[in-house]
Amino acid sequence: MNYCVWFTGLSGSGKSTLSLALQQDLSASGVNACVLDGDVLRTGLNRDLGFSPEDRAENVRRVGEVAKLMTGAGVNVLVALISPYRADRDRVRSLFAPGYFIEVFVDAPLLTCIQRDVKGLYAKAQRGEVPAMTAMTSPYEAPLNPDLHLHTELEPLTQCLARIKALLP
């Protein structure tokens, strides 16, 4: 049975970096894995969605359904998506058999994320150009009991990857 690793956290916390590094590592070991990145999905599948709570919920729902379809087709799926609301992440978890949805909280302090700001989103939000920026003008509900809690400002990438791989079925 294939699994879904769901990376959740603020913009700039390291979700995409971790998911892409894990995919490369798994692929090098002969494991079929695909990354579903929220930024990429918002340019195609979810381009019709905004950032209201309802649109964010629909974004997570769609990504969860795609992840479920892909795991059913024999692909391990690595999702890098802010997914700010617990209830939405819990709904996606319910699509998977126990143990095959792994929620990874990619945690970095807001200040660290602002300093990283590779996409320039926080700077735009500070100028009022991004009206619903998660953790600034829109809430982020951190997981209460994630399968794994990573502190990317303290843990090097290799250590984070080893911790994730130790949880894979």
What's the confidence (pLDDT) of residue 129? 87
29 is catalytic: no
Minimal CA–CA distance to 2: which of 103, 108, 131, 99? 99
pTM of the model: 0.95
Fold (CATH) for 4-165: Rossmann fold (3.40.50)
Q: What is the token pair recorded at 131?
A: 């009206």
In the chain, where are the structural domains located? 4-165
Q: Which of 11, 13, 19, 83 is catalytic?
A: 83
pLDDT tens for 63-117 read: 999 999 999 999 999 999 999 999 999 999 999 999 999 999 999 999 999 999 8
What span, in angstroms and rounded, lies between the C-alpha atoms of 54 and 50? 9
Beta strands in 25-118 (DSSP E): 33-37, 76-80, 101-107
Helix, strand, coil % over all residues of the chain, rounded to 5: 40, 15, 45
